[in-house]
Structure formats: structure tokens, C-alpha cells
Amino acid sequence: MGDAYDIKSILKILPHRYPFVMVDRILELDKGERVLALKNVTINEPFFQGHFPGDPIMPGVMILEAMGQAGGVLFWASLPPEKRMLPLYFVGLDKAKFRKPVRPGDQLTLDLRIINQRLTAVRMAGRATVDGQLVAEAEMLAATGDNR
């Protein structure tokens, strides 16, 4: 079993803040290989006000964002320490599929594995599940950059 991170540790790595932090806990992280993370989905999420009143469903793009943020923590941890101060960007998405709706009260489990990594970019395969059932999957590309 790899490293675990609580929300305080996650907030030191990710630049995201409320209401856009989509990862609550890292359960396992094996540098250069895999991350297993949790997102607790609550009715208090701002997107549920409009998606959809009377039948709240987590937007697919928010599930992908949660996967991307979990993958960002994995990529950050897998970089050499001198590269960790560079910003990380979600730069590509392939093979995205949505299988089942995610609703308030669900616990979204995010499982990302590195397909290949270079010093400045990584491709990951991601799966999101609720209670062991696949709800979404995608391949994601992230890169380091300097936005100055």
C-alpha cells in the first residue's frame, strides 16, 4: 500500500479551492504508478442547484475534473522535487465514457494509473466508481508548464 494524504496535504499540492476542490482524501498513492482517491458527493455542491432541480446528478465534466485532480496529485508526487513547483495542467482527454449517474450521498472512488510519463507530461487511465460500480472512465493527459 502506498502513501495516503488527508485534505490538508491535498490542499498543499493542488491550487484548487472551494468550490472547486474535487478530492477529499488520497487512500493510496504509489509514485510513478497509481493513485486511489475519494470524493464525497454532497447535496451542498453548487452544481446541484441547476443540474438538475428535483433530480440532482453530478455533471460528467465534474467527475472528469475529480479524476484529473486525483491524477494531478499522482503526477506531482511522481515528479522530481525540483519540478514540483511548476503548475500542472490538464491538457487532454481521450476515450471518456459515462456509465451511471452519480448522485448526492455517493462516494466517488477515483482510480488512476500512469500509462506513460515523461519529465513534463503524463498519460493516465482513470476509472471512477461508486460502490464498486463503474460510473466513468477516461484517458487523461497532464503537463507541467510555466504560465508566465
What CATH number is associated with residue 68?
Answer: 3.10.129.10
Residue 72 three-state SS: helix
pLDDT at res. 68? 97
For residue 47, give Cα distances in angstroms to 16, 73, 129.
16, 24, 20
Phi, psi of 122 (to 5 degrees): -145, 145
Cβ within 8 Å of residue 33, ≥6 positions away: 2, 113, 114
Q: Is the overall model pTM greater than 0.85, yes or no?
A: yes
Which residues are designated catalytic? 51
Tell me the per-residue pLDDT of 35-70, one tens digit each, with 9 for 90 and over: 999 999 999 999 999 999 999 999 999 999 999 999
Count of domains observed in the chain: 1
Taking the CB of residue 31, how many other CB atoms lie within 10 A of it?
15
Tell me the per-residue pLDDT of 85-121, one tens digit each, with 9 for 90 and over: 989 999 999 999 999 999 999 999 999 999 999 989 9
